[in-house]
Structure 1
């Protein structure tokens, strides 16, 4: 049996907007301020740390460095030390704002560069979406020959994708571009960010002929920077499948109905299907009567003309897990394989992310990377 690589075919409109919350994370670079001097009070009553004069960033520190040497206005035991706010210590760990997982970004949507058509994602609507490119590609120009597939940011330093998209590459041959929307335009509201892949972690039981356990993590050499990047964000990763019939969405730059690859990020809406019914349906295709749907697979779609197709394997299938008017998405599938594109009653096959969730956690722990960033509260 042979499966076609999956991508995007025909697209329809997604309703509803989400919003962005923030959480605080600590960057691991620089000295740990906890190993510096004792705490103290600045001249205006703020809590700081006693450090040598040269370690305090006077350009941004609100405290007059001359005044802080006066022991009557601060409590540093060494007269040569000054009381410096922790965030102003030169080379200290810095606090960064990072979006909570799963929220769409209406702030970036309002800054879209032009009206979108039916089936086109809004600018920043799926802020976790990543394009996998050959590392030889220019930083800004887009060539379809360099496009590998889709992926999702689940950690500032980790992209989730399908194993079949990266199985034939080594780390130095792949890079990840975040913040992309219109591949024909480099003059958008915010810049894209590209990161080289440092390590490819592929499921040890991935079987390419049947796309079993089709999942991989790309650990980046450098984290994505979410400061001043409202069009970028983190995806949540689903632990359980939503009820059957739930309308979910996938997105990407794969082929459209015309047979041409999309330039503006597309989106389609697909219902989740029962696995037994999906297996029965697929047995009536060229896959034959002995076809078995693996537990690492789920099915979605089956609507004529609305399907994933060549060019976008690895892109996420996300479902709304928000409450009431709150729209929040979790990845429950990865575009994996299918039989043709857009055939009536023939669903697409996706990696079952909740089934593979424990592998994902183990892989993150092995790399000493926090998983709570993509975990639903």
Structure 2
């Protein structure tokens, strides 16, 4: 979504993988120039249109019937999912049910489909005039609470006839979109670690002023505002970068954004847990990265309107460094110890568009579906190949994070397990 002379951003897609080898840290004057070109922030350069760069702003009207189409046997209307009664036999009472069933987000002519991802073709006798709200998560029995709870397969509805690369609505409630003020163009991602603090990569925000961008929580499909639970936006009050950040190889790529006001937490907005100092996940651990990035690197790649997810196994440091040395980085390449690695399966990776996006790894009892922020998208070699990508290792910065929050009068208990 951004030009190469704007700072590097990596993304996801089933997608995801990082920038090409010519952009990766390596020795020599050419490599130095590539690094400077990619990581240099130049806010005056206009952001190209298209993809998630087109952010739909909130509409002031309430939910409404979008349009109408005819099904194969019965007439139906395209309505937002929460305006269609999920029961075919009786009238559903608010907060007495758990969800609306399946929504098919295909776009095509083989079956009746609707224009927006959050619409469904609803039989005329099931179309409602008021919003129907399912039971809040906090009222459901045995629901775990606290940080890092993943809403597996999403809130409200499940996705049908789609691939595993799309996240469910509210599935990763800590994933943050960073948008430029004024034109609301997307440029990076982050993670909510405190209601008033977003963690992201330094290379995303270096050189920027706090008032030049905002943080958006609760986003899912960037091209509509019809989700039942609306997103929230907060301006950035202060940017704190790690004192040992190195622009040449983006080592210690840790930044904290102190927001002007805290987000209001809810079913689709929550903080992620943080690991203890130096407690990195074991090699082979299956983690998830989430964001709105490109499917392939470069101009031909397309950004995702709907938040994507990609499963990535953790790769041990020495193996990762060895694989990097087999690329154009050369046999003497030394991976900075501030990174961890994940991925390495061809066709499944992070890519261009979401620097700072979370790499969340499971912790605790599996039935709780609790995750911690183990890494943040930093850099890599190409997209979708069999070489792992490098992620800022959050466990190495835990003490630094605690100290910065305490200095700003913010509690550190929100992200503690």
If the length of structure 1 is used for normalisation, what is the TM-score?
A: 0.70
| Contact persistence 2:149–2:368 (CA under 8 A) | no
Report the equivalent of 1:191.
Answer: 230
Q: How many residues align?
A: 282
In the TM superposition, what are the counterparts of 1:149-228 in structure 2 within 5 Å? Answer: 149-226=188-265
Structure 1 SS opposite 2:270 = coil
Report the equivalent of 1:325.
Answer: 367
Cα gap change, 1:108 to 1:255, in 2 (>3 Å): closer
Report the equivalent of 1:297.
Answer: 339
Cα gap change, 1:205 to 1:367, in 2 (>3 Å): same
Report the equivalent of 1:347.
Answer: 388
Report the equivalent of 1:334.
Answer: 376
Q: Which has the higher Rg, Structure 1 or Structure 2?
A: 1
| Counterpart Cα distance in 2 of 1:165 and 1:199 | 14
| Contact persistence 1:11–1:120 (CA under 8 A) | no
**Which residues of structure 1 form unaligned runs of 5+?**
13-96, 139-145
Match of 1:102 among 120, 144, 148: 148
Deviation at 1:111, TM superposition (A): 4.4
Structure 2 SS opposite 1:230 = coil
Report the equivalent of 1:38.
Answer: none
Mapped pair 1:231 → 2:268: yes
More deviation, 287-296/216-225: 287-296
Deviation at 1:4, TM superposition (A): 5.7
Cα gap change, 1:300 to 1:100, in 2 (>3 Å): same
Cα gap change, 1:320 to 1:338, in 2 (>3 Å): same
Report the equivalent of 1:50.
Answer: none
Mapped pair 1:118 → 2:160: no
Report the equivalent of 2:46.
Answer: none
Report the equivalent of 1:9.
Answer: 13
If the length of structure 2 is used for normalisation, what is the TM-score?
A: 0.64
| Counterpart Cα distance in 2 of 1:274 and 1:114 | 35
Deviation at 1:339, TM superposition (A): 1.1
Structure 2 SS opposite 1:373 = coil
Deviation at 1:6, TM superposition (A): 1.7
Structure 2 SS opposite 1:211 = coil
| Counterpart Cα distance in 1 of 2:174 and 2:213 | 18
| Counterpart Cα distance in 2 of 1:279 and 1:108 | 36
| Contact persistence 1:11–1:269 (CA under 8 A) | no
**Which residues of structure 2 form unaligned runs of 5+?**
17-138
| Counterpart Cα distance in 1 of 2:168 and 2:255 | 27
| Contact persistence 1:206–1:214 (CA under 8 A) | yes
